[in-house]
Structure 1
Amino acid sequence: MTDLIAMGQAAQAAARTLAQLTTKQKNAALQQMASALEAATPALLAANAEDMANAAQLPTKFTDRLRLSAARIADMAAGLRAVAALPDPTATADRGWRNEAGLFIVQQRVPLGVVGMIYEARPNVTVDAAGLTLKSGNAVILRGGKEARASNVALAAVLREALAAAGLPQDAVQLIADPSRALANQMMRLTDYIDVLIPRGGAGLIQTVVRTATVPVIETGAGNCHVYVDQAADLQMAIDIVVNAKVQRPSVCNAAEKLLIHQAVAAAYLPALAAALTAHGVALRGDEAARAIVPSMAAATSADWDTEYNDLVMAVKLVASEAAAIAHINAHNTKHSETIVTGDYAAGEQFLTAVDAACVYVNASTRFTDGQAFGFGAEIGISTQKLHARGPMGLSALTTIKYQIRGNGQVRQ
């Protein structure tokens, strides 16, 4: 039987130890964890094979995230080493000053404490979360989806053994292996022990956590992402960006789901864009104006504009202006990642300013919204809210501030 109170207490004790570690100690543990993952590759692949067999009937968008390979395990180990190489956010003060009373005030960055993670069939999250929380001085309690249970149990065991080998508390990383919904609901209300809760997965999971939790939640990214092809776009650049944003890995939240095209270039551009996408197996759904140019498209419904497909499906809409594109995006997006393809500098700058999203691009694929691509090492999630973090969340997003005040006998008059 899983005792979440006991897990919470153990996590708090571990967090107190982690908060006092030197950067050198944390980095040594991360290196130990990375080497342990590599050494355990055969056992991890065997555990993942069990999960994959049980998930044989699930859609590709789930099994793609669930599947481990030797290369993916090597990438996880490399991610831990990349985190070890990053600056420690708790090692230096943000700023310091002396006030009128002569007190020296330091704004110091400190760990959040205990981080809770609730996520779906993504074994890589187990490793990314463990690495980022350790480097930032936090303990973590993980609750993965039932589809990845064997993989997550195996990964957590390897990471905990590596922590012990490094002389650190194993309970810095804990996994709730029981997938029951009752336990998940209890975890969401564990306010005495968990300082912040981060959900990762589809819109349904995220909204369930936001509605249910009493622990503070950082809402992460469902991704209804758009590519807008402006009238000043270069066609070949547009093809390259749209195809990459949709096709390179369609099951993830930074893949593009919608294509908007300025009506002034639609007749010239849409057939080529549609041909490039369908050559990669993308099923297109268009509005009436788009279907008049490419009749083979299925008809888009009103629900399509708000749907995150996580699959080789894309909805297409023609717009009369950049302003119309921006209005459509702001009405239907999930505040994740949006991009414009244009050769017009002013249009690009207007898009950057007016679109409400965590990441807004000019002439680049939405697929770059990623902690590793941004230079953060790994990421613990992509926040689509405005408090306390936004966009790819690396180490600094897992810290808060403490004011340390030094005096020499001052009393307030």
Structure 2
Amino acid sequence: MTPRHQRTLGRRRFLVALAGAAVAAPGVAAIAPHALAGNTTKAADGALPLTLVNNSGSFDNASVHVYIVGNQDGKQVRVTPDGTLAPIAASDNGADGFTDYAISLAGSGETRLDLPYMSGRIYVSLGEKLKLKAVTDGNGNAALQYPAGWVESDPNYPVLHDCAEFTYNAAGMFCNTTMVDMFSVPLSIRLTGAKDQTTGTLRDGGRAAAFAAVRETEGFGSLVVDDTRVIAPGHGLDAGLFADDYLAPYIDEAWSTYAGRDLKVTTNAGTFTGRVRGDQLAFEGPAAVSFAKPSTRDVLFCDGSLAAPNDGTTGPVAAVLGAGFNRSTLVSTAAQPVTDPAAFYTTGLTNHYAKAMHAATEDGKAYGFAFDDVADFASYIQDTAPTGVRLTLTPF
């Protein structure tokens, strides 16, 4: 499969596109609706069977609440308990000020729904329901405030919850589990169709191991919130739980290294050759692109100086640089991207959160940061002729 950093993608600004400032907009790893239309071999046809399975071992079906929310044709929508699509409406807020868009699981066994064409998220909350407020955005359109489990003042902060992301349209099904913002509930996706694929499955004891690894790493321990979730370091930085200069020595070393030698970044557009000149890492090749020296926050969010526009040149180079910084391969290897996972996260200053997330999964794939799809290490699967998708809450 072609690495996504080499495709022409609209990437990772999914929730912002849904509702602008009205939506709590995490740094998601969602896939644009047009993501792979150019690679379509067979159009998906109509509603896709979605099976929800509770194998958590810690919560019974009555304690699991599911929410399918997102976007269709530029409008915010939700899937109702009977499997139909309904618009988000401010009038849906109840007396407590929040909607109740929860879908309950069957009394026992598996739960079957039909998933319509849409782009969105499947949230699961355990024990308590999520508090989602329908609001009106700056353009007068109905929008939904998504949970922000990394924000202590968010009404969903005490609730055990997590999500998977997807786009389902005539081009097929494109989906992933995500730890870009936080990790809480172990989830696995199985996608059947032209192939039979599974992603996101944790190793036995993987959740506890991930929590312990982050808790025990110097500088990262404050990201663990009891036994509820682990917050990604970028959000931890914004909350004052993580040092805003943590990666500064590594960033300085990279800037110093490539002031004296070439850095080569290969994307689908070709190979870009760069040097640090002044305060810019400037590349020549298929196009002239340059980047200001990033901050720790830029690296963790893959944003700011490392923002990736959907232009086929600057965007893919930014993605590769972001991966090299997070995986701490950028200084040691002048030809990027590095594709051997044994070389990832080997330095003291690295994204130990992402390292722990990858170590917890059976196949070593996870969305630990926004550009984790570089060289195909994200927990992402796709099928252009899907026949069904299965979301499983796996054992804690």
TM-score bin (small chain):
0.3 to 0.5
Larger Rg: 1
Bigger relative contact order, structure 1 or 2, given CA contacts below 8 A and separation 6+?
2
Instruction: Point out the structure with the larger strand share.
Output: 2
TM-score (structure 2 length as normaliser):
0.33
TM-score (structure 1 length as normaliser):
0.32
